[in-house]
Amino acid sequence: MMSILGFLLALVVGVFVAPILGGLITGLDRRITARIQSRLGPPILQPFYDVAKLLGKEKLLNNSWQAFCAYVYLVAAATSVVLFFMQSDLLLIFFVQAVGAVFLVIGAMSVPSPYSQIGAQRELIQVLTYEPLLVLVLAGIYVHTGTFKISGIYALEEPMLLKLPLLFLVLGYALTIKLRKSPFDISASAHAHQEIVRGVYTEFSGPYLAILEIAHFYEVILILGLVSLFWSTSFVGMLVLVALTYLAEILVDNVSSRMTWRWMVTSAWAVGLTLTLINLLSLTM
């Protein structure tokens, strides 16, 4: 079992360091994206300025359950990151993360605005699309390591990527959806003014939107943490893998346009399930 010190360390890193790191990565993302688009881009710290500004704004709500849902989303996201740093059960971490996803949807649905309602429906379809893929990636990790615990992955002698290359691709596919990157930015359309405005985020404003942003910082860390597990044997390898993966995500985001949800579900499941099947069978044969 884990020592008290280790527990406290995981708690502090998970609760306080993770969102800062997540914010910085988001800032970096915006900067790189801007450069790709031949713009100068905002300062790296811009996400923090945004959050600070939002926190200072007036509270404006249509339905008070929105506030409740935003905070539950935050608590769930933070809990999943803490569990990650405690090297807990991956499947459990994933389910805890899902609590946040569900409450974001309920929060968006609690306001009868068509934009947030459609956003919420599409968000559910996004969850529907990436959830089975992620569960299957975790099942593959179990087949390879014999456990769902992260500690089991760190006990490996060679990087998981070598044995689970196809599952890593599936993970990348699923995480593009989770990170709200094009071509799957269907429920919240981060770019410009589009047909559903800001979709699932439309009705959240001021301090409540800030809470959602912070929760998203946590999620970015969780996602990159998952990626890092595929090269668990060396710290440098981990960093390189995470950096390359995230750069690839940014690139895909910038070179593709948004697609429809039908295309998302069918393509993600067709590609994801096929790759999973091949990789799982090669492991179990």
Partner 1 sequence: MHSTLMFILIVLPFLAAIACAVVPVKQVRSAVVVVTGALLVVASLLLIGKVPFETSFTSMAGLPLASMTQLADFLLLGFVLFLGWKHKHLGIKILAGAQLVILFALEAFMMDHHAASMAFVADPLSLTLVLIISIVGSIICIHAIPYMDNHEHHLHLTISRQPRFFAWLVVLLGTMNALVLTNDLLAFYFFFELTTLCSYMLIGHDGTEEATNNSVRALYLGSMGGLALLLGAVFFQNMLGSLEIQEIIKLAPSAGYAMLPMALLCVAAFVKSAQAPFQSWLLGAMVAPTPTSALLHSSTMVKAGVYLVLRMAPGFVDTTLSTYVALFGAFTFLATALLAVSQSNAKRILAYSTVSNLGLIIACAGINTPAATAAALFLIIFHAVSKALLFLCVGTIEQRIESRDIEDMHGLFVRMPVTASLAVIGVLTMILPPFGMLMGKWMAIESAAANVPVIMMLALGSAITLLYWARWAGLLMSHPLQGGVTPEVQPKLTKYPLVALCGGAVLLSLLSPWIYSALIVPMIDMVNLANPQAMFEAPYVTSKGMLGADSGVFPVAPLFLVLIVGMFLGLRVLKNAQGAREASIYLAGAQSRTAQTPDSFVGPVNQPVKVANANYYLTRLLPEGKVTCWVNTAAVLLALLLVVGGL
| Torsion from C-alpha of 78, 79, 85, 90, nearest 10 degrees | -120
Tell me the C-alpha to C-alpha distance, in Å, between residue 30 and each of 7, 44, 249: 33, 8, 12
Q: Which tokens belong to 226?
A: 């998952």
CB 150 within 8 A of CB 6: no
Minimum CB–partner distance for residue 133 and partner 1 (Å): 8
- Using CB under 8 A, which of the segments 19-27, 38-46, 61-69, 239-247 binds partner 1? 61-69
How far apart, in whole angstroms, are the C-alpha atoms of residue 80 and residue 257? 31
- Using CB under 8 A, which of the segments 88-96, 177-185, 231-239, 248-256 binds partner 1? 88-96
Q: Which residue has the tokens 């993360």?
A: 97
How far apart, in whole angstroms, are the C-alpha atoms of residue 204 and residue 230? 36
Give helix 90-109 / helix 65-85 axis angle, nearest 10°.
Answer: 170
Interface mask toward partner 1 for 11-50; x: CB under 8 A = ----------------------------------------
| Torsion from C-alpha of 140, 141, 144, 150, nearest 10 degrees | -170
Q: Does residue number 132 form part of the binding site for partner 1 (CB under 8 A)?
A: yes
How far apart, in whole angstroms, are the C-alpha atoms of residue 108 and residue 199? 9
Q: Closer CB to partner 1, residue 9 or residue 273? A: 273
**Prior bond to 183 cis, omega within 30?**
yes
For partner 1, which residue of 36, 142, 259, 267 counts as binding (CB under 8 A)? 142
Question: Rule CB under 8 A: which of 99-118 touch partner 1?
Answer: 99, 102, 105-106, 108-118
Count the Cβ atoms, other than its own, within 10 Å of residue 158: 10
For partner 1, which residue of 33, 46, 62, 254 counts as binding (CB under 8 A)? 62
Q: Does residue number 143 form part of the binding site for partner 1 (CB under 8 A)?
A: yes
Question: Rule CB under 8 A: which of 242-281 touch partner 1?
Answer: 262, 269, 273, 276-277, 280-281
Q: Does residue number 169 form part of the binding site for partner 1 (CB under 8 A)?
A: no
Q: What spatial distance separates the first Cα and last Cα of the chain, rounded to whole Å?
A: 33
Q: Does residue number 156 form part of the binding site for partner 1 (CB under 8 A)?
A: no
For partner 1, which residue of 15, 28, 32, 68 counts as binding (CB under 8 A)? 68
For partner 1, which residue of 41, 71, 228, 256 counts as binding (CB under 8 A)? 71
**Count of residues near partner 1 by CB under 8 A:** 72
Minimum CB–partner distance for residue 25 and partner 1 (Å): 25
For partner 1, which residue of 10, 124, 170, 241 counts as binding (CB under 8 A)? 124
